């Protein structure tokens, strides 16, 4: 059995006041929910505050990115060591915004995955196709290419501990979510590809869906056999919405 996981990706949003309120509300709303792993990925500077607010409760904290160098002269970057020291257990790698806006390649993302895992963080590895790629019938090919890059560099043995998030780029922040069936088809394909490399680990690996998940569509998505929770952007910025999604994963 795979324990569902719901991770909130705040992206470049939030403030100390917002974090204080949201952590308190999520903390309170989690009482009675025991069947879901909950992760919050705030901007770096809010990590210590979120970690402290979680106060040993069942909310883990993650980074949104990392640099792969050993600590040293890399102005503006954050290493796995710094993330771990601040309380992070997880880190998102390969988010489509980093691929599209910051030029991160499959190879760099694979390298980040390897370093994150080796240093003791659980990577949440994002895969997903653009609208053009979907319309060209290339979804399977793109997602497989992104996954194989990770498997080649980081090794299949990082699974089932490492986590995958399938996030169709056309569904991120657009309000346009994949249908339950569209998402399930890609999740099943990802699991099949994983099984080729690591047959034992594939069945236990959590594959999250991301892209305009909301309390209203979460239950349908999470009821699919290969969808094990969600990576949530916009809806993770409001405690009530985030909790609604967590409750959907718990049922």
232 binds ligand PGA (CB under 6 A): yes
Q: Which is nearer to ligand PGA, 156 or 241 (CB)?
A: 241
Are the C-beta atoms of residues 122 and 90 closer than 8 Å to each other? yes
In the numeric block, the tokens 């009821």 are attached to 223
- The neighbour count for residue 137, using CB atoms within 10 Å, is 8
| Binding of ligand PGA by 109 (CB under 6 A) | no
Q: What x/- string results for residues 172 through 211 when contact with ligand PGA is judged by CB under 6 A?
A: xx------------------------------------xx
Active site residue 95: yes
How many residues can be counted in the chain?
Answer: 251
CB of 39 to ligand PGA, least distance (A): 12
Report how far residue 124's alpha carbon sits from residue 181's, in angstroms, rounded to the nearest whole number. Answer: 22
**Nearest in space to 173 (alpha carbons), one of 118, 122, 231, 226:** 231
- DSSP-derived pairing of the beta strands 59-63 and 37-41: parallel
Q: Are 201 and 223 in contact (CB under 8 A)?
A: no
- Work out which of 4, 86, 234, 247 binds ligand PGA, going by CB under 6 A: 234
Please confirm, yes or no, whether 216 is among the known catalytic residues. Answer: no
| Cross-strand partners of 230 | 6, 209
* Contact pattern for ligand PGA over residues 139 through 178, marking x by CB under 6 A: ----------------------------x----xx-----
Per CB under 6 A, the list member of 231, 243, 245, 249 interacting with ligand PGA is 231
Footprint on this chain of ligand PGA (rule: CB under 6 A): 9, 167, 172-173, 210-213, 231-235
Please give the positions annotated as active site: 95, 167
């Amino acid at each position: 059995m795979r324990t569902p996981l719901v991770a909130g990706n705040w992206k470049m949003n939030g403030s100390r006041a917002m974090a204080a309120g949201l952590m308190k509300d999520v903390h309170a709303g989690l009482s009675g929910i025991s069947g879901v792993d909950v992760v919050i990925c705030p901007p770096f500077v809010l990590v210590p505050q979120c970690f402290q607010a979680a106060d040993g409760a069942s909310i883990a904290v993650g980074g949104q990115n990392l640099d792969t160098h050993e600590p040293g002269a890399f102005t503006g970057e954050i290493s796995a060591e710094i993330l771990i020291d601040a309380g992070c257990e997880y880190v998102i790698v390969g988010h489509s915004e980093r691929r599209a806006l910051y030029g991160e390649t499959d190879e760099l993302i694979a390298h980040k995955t390897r370093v994150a895992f080796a240093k003791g963080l659980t990577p949440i590895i994002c895969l997903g196709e653009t609208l053009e790629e979907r319309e060209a019938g290339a979804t399977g090919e793109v997602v497989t290419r992104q996954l194989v890059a990770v498997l080649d560099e980081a090794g299949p043995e990082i699974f089932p501990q490492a986590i995958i998030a399938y996030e169709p780029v056309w569904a991120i922040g657009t309000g346009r979510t994949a249908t339950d069936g569209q998402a399930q088809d890609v999740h099943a394909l990802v699991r099949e590809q994983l099984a080729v490399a690591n047959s034992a680990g594939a069945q236990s690996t959590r594959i999250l869906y991301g892209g305009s998940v909301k309390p209203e569509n979460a239950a349908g998505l999470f009821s699919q056999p290969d969808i094990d929770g969600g990576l949530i952007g916009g809806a993770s910025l409001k405690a009530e919405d985030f909790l609604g999604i967590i409750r959907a994963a718990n049922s």
